[in-house]
Amino acid sequence: MLTEIDKRLFVQSTIKAMAAYTMPYLTQVIGVIDDKTGEFRGTGFFCELAGRQAIVTAAHVLREAAATGKFQSLTFSRGNAEAPAIVAGEIRYQDSYDLAIYYPERRFPLGEQKRFWPGDRIDRDPRSILRDYLFVQGFPQRFSRFTTLGGNASFSESLAYGAMVRYREKDIAAEEREQFDQDLPAYKFLDDNFLEPHQFALNFWVEPDHFVDPETKPSAIKDWSEVFEPAERVQSLPPGQRPRGAYGLSGSPVWRLGASGRSSREWTSEWSQLVGVITDWNHSAKILIATSASKILEVSRR
C-alpha cells in the first residue's frame, strides 16, 4: 500500500504526462472584437457526444461574454498559432449546472494538434472521483492572448494541476471512516451542504513556487503570481490584500487518472477519464468547484 508521501509523489509524476496527453482536447473561448483582435474569456474542450462533435464550457463563460455587448461573435481556438474559426451552430445551455454545449453545424476545422475527446471515456459514475487522483488543465487569463500575429492566431500557456477531491463527511462510508481518519488525521471536511448535488470540489491553493522547477535558471522563471488576477468577487478582504483566483479556468475539463485499484507503476495517461467541468472557485475554502461530467451526458440527450 502506498504511503501518503508515495501518493503525493505519484500525482506529481503524472502532471507532465497528463498535460501533454490532454492538451490536444483544450480550446480557448474568445470574444471577437473585429477581424484582427479579440479577448480571451475562458477555457473549453473538444469532445464527442453521441457521435457528434461538440465543444463544452461553463455556461457563465458564454453568457457573461455576450452580456458585455462588446463582441461581434464568439469563437474557439484551434491550436497554438492557429487562426481561430467562427462556425455557426447550436448552443445548448443548462444554467442550473452552469454548462454550455456548442454543436457546430458543420465539421469543426481542428488544427493539426487538436482532437475530440472520445465519448466513451466520459465517466458515468459521479462517485468514481472519491477513490482516484484528479487533474485539471486550462488557460489562466494572464497568459492567454489574441493577437494579429500568425494570421490572427491565439497564443497561450496552460496551467496543469493535480489534486484530490475535497471530501464532505457524507462522502466517506461508515466502514471506511476509521481508516480515513488514520490516513488523514484532522482532515478539514467541507460542510455536507456546501455543494449542489451535481457538483464536486478539488483542493486548490497554489503558490508561485509550485510552478517553478528548482533546476530552472532564474532568467527563465515566470512570475507565476501574475497568473492569478485580483479577485473582485471576494468580499470583506483587508485593504490591499490580493488573493489568487482561478480566472480563465472556468470551463476547464477535469480528469481522473484512472489509477485507483491499479498499480501505479503500470499507470498510463490512457487510463484517464473525463469527470467534470470547472465552474467556480472559492477562495476562503481553497477549492475549485466542478460540475460532474455525467451532467454533460444528461444535457446532450435533451
The DSSP-derived string for 218-275 is GGG---GGGGSPP-TT--SPPTT------TT-TT-EEEE-S-TTS-GGG--GGG-EEE
3-state SS class at 298: helix
Cell numbers found for residue 42: 475562458
- To 10 degrees, the CA torsion angle through 88, 198, 275, 16? 90
Q: Which of 88-97, 129-138, 140-149, 250-259 has the lowest mean pLDDT?
A: 140-149
* Phi and psi, residue 280, nearest 5°: -165, 170
Which range of 144-148, 160-164, 274-278 scores highest in mean pLDDT? It is 274-278
Return phi, psi of residue 256, to 5°. Answer: -105, 150
Quick one: which of 279, 40, 7, 31 has its CA closest to 136?
279
Q: What is the pLDDT of residues 248-274, one digit of tens each?
A: 789 999 999 987 777 777 889 999 999
Distance of alpha carbon 224 from alpha carbon 296, whole angstroms: 32
- Tell me the C-alpha distance between 206 and 201, whole Å: 15
Instruction: Give the pLDDT score at 52.
Output: 93
Backbone angles phi, psi at 92, to 5 degrees: -105, 115
Note the pLDDT tens digit of each residue in 22-67: 999 999 888 888 777 778 888 999 999 999 999 999 999 999 888 8
Residue 298, judged by CB atoms within 10 A of its CB (0-12, 13-18, 19+), counts as middle
- pLDDT tens-digit map of 164-208: 899 999 999 999 999 889 888 889 999 999 999 999 999 886 554
Q: Is the pLDDT confidence value at 120 over 80? A: yes
In CATH terms, 4-300 corresponds, of 3.30.70.2500, 3.10.20.90, 3.90.110.10, 2.40.10.120, to 2.40.10.120
CA pair distance 78, 80, nearest whole angstrom: 7
Domain ranges of the chain: 4-300
Phi-psi region of 50 (alpha: psi -120 to 50; beta: other; left: phi over 0): left
